[in-house]
Amino acid sequence: MATLGRIVTGILRKETARNVCKNQQLLARTQQVRCKTTTETGALLAKPTTINLGLSKIVLVTVPFLYLGATISKEGAAFLEENDIFIPDDDDD
């Protein structure tokens, strides 16, 4: 009984996946959509190639925004000091 349930569930999943793929292909004619994960015989397809840029992504995002933040802070402090809004005292030590 459990085996029959698994077979029926597997068939339903395959049919649902096929319908989803057909609908996606109809809706997205300009985009490449990959719905197929197995071959006709049931073997899994090879993993897609990925490019891991871990540390370089972090550096490319962090460095410019740290520089931008430091520049804005410096210009803001200069503006406040120039307009006598905030003048640091040396007596605070």
**What is the rounded distance in angstroms from the CA atom of residue 17 to the CA atom of residue 37?**
10
Contact 24, 36 (CB under 8 A): no
Total domain count, the chain? 2
Domain that holds residue 93: 51-93
57 with 36, same domain: the answer is no
Tokens of 49: 């190639």
Q: What is the pTM of this model?
A: 0.42
pLDDT at 49: 85
56 with 17, same domain: the answer is no
30 with 59, same domain: the answer is no
Tokens of 61: 């995002």
pLDDT at 41: 81
pLDDT at 75: 96
pLDDT at 73: 96
Cα angle for residues 18, 49, 31 (degrees, 5° grid): 45
Tokens of 14: 């395959």
92 with 63, same domain: the answer is yes
**What is the rounded distance in angstroms from the CA atom of residue 37 to the CA atom of residue 46?**
9
Mean pLDDT for each consecutive 10-residue tract of the chain (93 residues)?
A: 60 55 55 66 83 90 96 94 79 58
